Every structure is written in C-alpha cells, then in structure tokens.
A and B are shown apart, each in its own frame.
Chain A
Amino acid sequence: DGGITQSPKYLFRKEGQNVTLSCEQNLNHDAMYWYRQDPGQGLRLIYYSQIVNDFQKGDIAEGYSVSREKKESFPLTVTSAQKNPTAFYLCASGTSDTQYFGPGTRLTVL
C-alpha cells in the first residue's frame, strides 16, 4: 500500500445518497487516479488528476465527481446518478508511468 491511504475500507450507501471516498498520499506524487474494479474485469479509470486544481474524466466518469485542492488528497464522490455503484474502488498515485495503489474501498449499495 505504500504511502497511499484510503478510507473507509467498507462503505454502505442507501439509494439516492451521495458518498465520498477519501484518498491521501504522502509520496509527493503529482498524479492521482481513481479506478473502479468489478469481478472478472480489468481496472477502469474514473477520473485522474495530473496536478493540483486540475482533473480530467476517465473512461467511466458519469455519476462521479472529484476535487484536487491539495497535492496529497484526491477525494471521489459517488453521486446518486451512478446507477450501479457497488464495486471496489482503488485510488492510485504515481509518476508519469508507474502507479502505486491504495488498499481500496468496498462500496455497497443497500
């Protein structure tokens, strides 16, 4: 897990609620990423940020939002517009090529 922390480890959401997943890194990496992991599939990119105060949509950004106010932090909000949010969410940070992952947050919609 290195210097990347994610919280909480498990999160339960009722339908219609927004929830925010935390990601913090102390590796001094400029770039941070959010991925979604579903059974039997490769990681899919939700959002990424190459620098503070800037972020870009990934392949599956609909229903998600992010902010990057500090270099160390890249929180992900799963909104009620995300129709199938139950998944394992992974945050990563890295240099221009290599990525290092946090321990993940398991989100379940009740």
Chain B
Amino acid sequence: GESVGLHLPTLSVQEGDNSIINCAYSNSASDYFIWYKQESGKGPQFIIDIRSNMDKRQGQRVTVLLNKTVKHLSLQIAATQPGDSAVYFCAENWDNYGQNFVFGPGTRLSVLP
C-alpha cells in the first residue's frame, strides 16, 4: 500500500460509532480551514470547509467545529462506515492565497467491523 500515513496517530472506531478527529492549527491569523480525506494510494479528497466567522458547519454525516481561542479544529463523522477508513488531515489558510495553505500531517482512521 501507499507509504503515506506511516507513523501517524491512529484512531480506531467501531463501525456505526461516531468518530472525532482533531487538528491543532498554527497561525492565529488563519481564517479558512479545510478537511481532506486521503485513501491509500490516492490524492486527498475535499470533505468540508469552514471560515473563521463560523464555529460549526455541517455536511452529510460530517461536522467541523472550530475553536479559535485554542486554535483547534475537529472533524466529527457520524455513524462511521468501513469506507471512512483513510488518513484525514486539516489545512489552514490566510489572506486567500492558495500558496499559503499549511497542511497537517494527518490522522489515520481505522474502522473496525
């Protein structure tokens, strides 16, 4: 398989349970955040984004929470399924320039049957 994701923190959850993946971001000036999902051997897939004027945003089975006070971002996945197994990483940006994205190393989510 793809070597991306070696030495990453791993979260193991039972199928059907909710998952919470956390991300600490670095720049207090960051005002835009994205969560990506990366399956083994594939490119990252956009999941959900949030801007700094929001604390919470919901998508289909996913919710992103933003705590600007402690520079923390979380991704909640409801009713986790085997297809959710992947590496999840966050990205932060400021001043709307794409070259200023900073990507976290990611967390590996493993869904147990």
Q: When the two chains form their complex, are residues B96 and A97 in contact, meaning their CB atoms are under 8 A apart?
A: yes
Q: State whether A39 and B97 are in contact (beta carbons under 8 Å apart), knowing that A1-B42, A90-B43, A106-B2 are contacts in the complex.
A: no
* Chain A residue nearest to B34 in the complex (CB): A98
Contact residue range for chain B? 20 to 34
Q: When the two chains form their complex, are residues B7 and A39 in contact, meaning their CB atoms are under 8 A apart?
A: yes
Is A76 on the interface with B (CB-CB < 8 A)? no
Q: When the two chains form their complex, are residues B43 and A48 in contact, meaning their CB atoms are under 8 A apart?
A: no
Interface residue count on the A side (C-beta < 8 Å) = 31
Is A19 on the interface with B (CB-CB < 8 A)? no
Bound complex: CA A102 to CA B94 (Å): 23
Interface of B is mostly: loop
Residue of B6, B43, B104, B105 touching A1 (CB-CB under 8 A): B43
List of A residues within 8 angstroms of B45 by Cβ = 1, 101
Q: State whether A103 and B42 are in contact (beta carbons under 8 Å apart), knowing that A37-B4, A94-B98, A97-B32 are contacts in the complex.
A: yes
Q: When the two chains form their complex, are residues A31 and B4 in contact, meaning their CB atoms are under 8 A apart?
A: no
List of A residues within 8 angstroms of B101 by Cβ = 43, 45, 99
Q: State whether A96 and B97 are in contact (beta carbons under 8 Å apart), knowing that A39-B7, A40-B105, A42-B89 are contacts in the complex.
A: yes
Q: When the two chains form their complex, are residues A101 and B98 in contact, meaning their CB atoms are under 8 A apart?
A: no
Q: When the two chains form their complex, are residues B99 and A45 in contact, meaning their CB atoms are under 8 A apart?
A: yes
Is A41 on the interface with B (CB-CB < 8 A)? yes
Q: When the two chains form their complex, are residues B98 and A48 in contact, meaning their CB atoms are under 8 A apart?
A: yes
Residue of B7, B99, B102 touching A48 (CB-CB under 8 A): B99
List of A residues within 8 angstroms of B97 by Cβ = 96
Q: When the two chains form their complex, are residues A40 and B8 in contact, meaning their CB atoms are under 8 A apart?
A: yes
> Nearest 4 A-B pairs (CB), nearest first?
A42-B103, A40-B7, A101-B43, A39-B6
Identify the A interface with B (CB < 8 A): 1, 4, 6, 31, 33, 35, 37, 39-43, 45, 48, 50, 56, 58, 88, 90, 94-104, 106
Could you give 14 example pairs across A and B, Cβ below 8 Å? A1-B42, A39-B4, A39-B7, A42-B104, A43-B101, A48-B98, A50-B99, A88-B2, A88-B3, A88-B4, A90-B43, A97-B98, A101-B43, A104-B41
